[in-house]
């Protein structure tokens, strides 16, 4: 890392940390995607035991969605602060490219989190409808 650039652009110093964070978050969301698929399949196959798992995954995804949106928003705001302004020249273009790259990754993570969150919400709604339908069928057969 170039010391003079680190002094002028703190975001340059943190670029590798952000990239590591992006990779970790992507891996985590892929794991949650796998667990969500498994929970949805179990809901269809075995009944209603997966509702607590789906609610838990929904809560986790909600937190990650908000965190990823917050980080993306913060990176956008950092672009306009005076302490991140490069002195100009070729380094300024690299600075903007680095920021745009990291911002794009976090926006993608927010989108992936959002998709998983709404998928989880949808699975919960379907499961709740099934519970309601079965409950009403049970009540109607009990009345007869």
Longest dimension (CA), the chain: 83
Q: Looking at residue 9, what DSSP letter applies?
A: -
Q: For the chain, how many residues are written?
A: 144
For every one of its 144 residues, what pLDDT tens digit does the chain have, with 9 covering 90 and above?
Answer: 566 666 666 677 788 889 999 999 999 999 999 999 999 998 887 767 888 999 999 999 999 999 999 999 998 887 766 655 555 555 667 777 888 899 999 999 999 999 999 999 999 999 888 888 877 887 778 765
pLDDT the model gives residue 48: 72
pLDDT the model gives residue 87: 55
pLDDT the model gives residue 8: 66
Q: Which two tokens stand for residue 71?
A: 């980080």
pLDDT the model gives residue 78: 78
Contact 9, 88 (CB under 8 A): no
Q: Which two tokens stand for residue 127?
A: 């499961």
pLDDT the model gives residue 5: 63
**DSSP track, 11-62:** HHHHHHHHHHHHHHHHHHHHHHHHHHHHHHHHHHHH-STTHHHHHHHHHHHH
Query: How many C-beta atoms surround the C-beta of residue 131 within 10 A?
Result: 13
Contact 46, 130 (CB under 8 A): no
pLDDT the model gives residue 106: 96
Overall pTM surpassing 0.85 (yes/no): no
pLDDT the model gives residue 33: 98
pLDDT the model gives residue 44: 80
pLDDT the model gives residue 82: 61
């Amino acid at each position: 890392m170039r010391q003079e650039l680190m002094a002028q652009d703190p975001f340059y110093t943190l670029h590798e940390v952000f990239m590591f964070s992006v990779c970790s978050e992507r891996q985590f969301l892929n794991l949650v995607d796998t667990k969500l698929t498994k929970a949805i399949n179990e809901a269809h196959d075995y009944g209603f035991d997966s509702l607590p798992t789906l609610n838990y995954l929904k809560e986790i995804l909600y937190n990650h969605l908000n965190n990823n949106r917050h980080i993306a928003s913060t990176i956008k705001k950092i672009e306009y602060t005076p302490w991140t302004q490069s002195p100009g020249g070729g380094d300024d273009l690299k600075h903007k490219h680095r920021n745009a790259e990291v911002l794009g990754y976090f926006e993608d993570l927010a989108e992936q989190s959002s998709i998983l969150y709404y998928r989880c919400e949808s699975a919960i709604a379907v499961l709740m409808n099934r519970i309601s339908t079965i409950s009403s069928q049970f009540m109607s057969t009990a009345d007869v």
